[in-house]
């Protein structure tokens, strides 16, 4: 009786295993700092609005030349702030951060606006997850359906107000 040859067991270093620890370390590592232009490009290429990121970036550059507009940065997120007077501001945000970093950056933005004597910040978004993100920072959030849908996608817009 003949026995079929059996392949030798692979040595420990020959077994292919995913690098789980390496992946975890890469996820926890701080993100590389991106330029403002790269943040806007990443946001508008990934958000599905169909808006041309180059045009958005050009518009942001024009806005911040006006005295009632400012731009804040935290991590790989930017916040364009329009001073509406009376302690009110309207904001636009672009981010290339991971959700955990975005929550930290959102808290930094809101604390900076509070320190600058703003009392209410408002914005419109088609993404309900942003509301939960802001609520996780401990700020008071009120929201209602916006008056009109998002222009390019037709998604319903949510009007959000944050008390500082």
pTM of the entire predicted model? 0.79
Minimal CA–CA distance to 93: which of 66, 141, 108? 108
- Tokens 């008056």 correspond to 147
Q: What is the pLDDT of residue 51?
A: 85
Comparing 142 with 11, which gets the higher pLDDT? 142
Q: Are strands 69-74 and 158-163 parallel, antiparallel or unpaired?
A: unpaired
State the CATH number of the domain containing residue 43. 3.40.630.30
Classify residue 15: in a domain, yes or no.
no
CA distances from 54 to 10, 34, 41, 51, 64 (A): 53, 16, 7, 9, 16
Question: pLDDT tens, 14-52?
Answer: 555 667 777 666 666 677 899 999 999 999 888 777 789
Residue 4 is assigned to a structural domain of this protein: no
- The answer, yes or no, to whether residue 4 has pLDDT greater than 70, is no
Phi then psi for 110, rounded to 5 degrees?
-65, -40
Q: Is 17 inside a domain boundary? A: no
Residue 49 lies in a domain: yes
Question: Residue 110 sits in which domain range?
Answer: 33-163
Domain count, the chain: 1
Q: pLDDT at residue 13 above 60?
A: no
């Amino acid at each position: 009786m003949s026995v079929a040859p059996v392949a030798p067991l692979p040595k420990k270093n020959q077994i292919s295993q995913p690098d789980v620890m390496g992946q975890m370390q890469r996820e926890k590592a701080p993100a590389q700092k991106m330029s403002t232009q790269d943040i806007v490009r990443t946001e508008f290429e990934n958000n599905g609005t169909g808006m041309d990121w180059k045009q958005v970036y050009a518009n942001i550059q024009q806005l911040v030349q006006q005295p009632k507009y400012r731009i804040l940065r935290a991590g790989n997120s930017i916040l364009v702030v329009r001073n509406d007077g009376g302690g009110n501001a309207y904001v636009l945000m672009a981010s290339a951060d991971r959700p955990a970093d975005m929550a930290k950056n959102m808290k930094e933005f809101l604390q900076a606006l509070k320190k600058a004597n703003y009392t209410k910040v408002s914005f419109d978004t088609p993404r309900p997850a942003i509301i939960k993100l802001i609520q996780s920072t401990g700020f008071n959030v009120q929201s209602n359906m916006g008056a009109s849908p998002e222009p390019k996608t037709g998604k319903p817009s949510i009007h959000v107000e944050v008390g500082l």
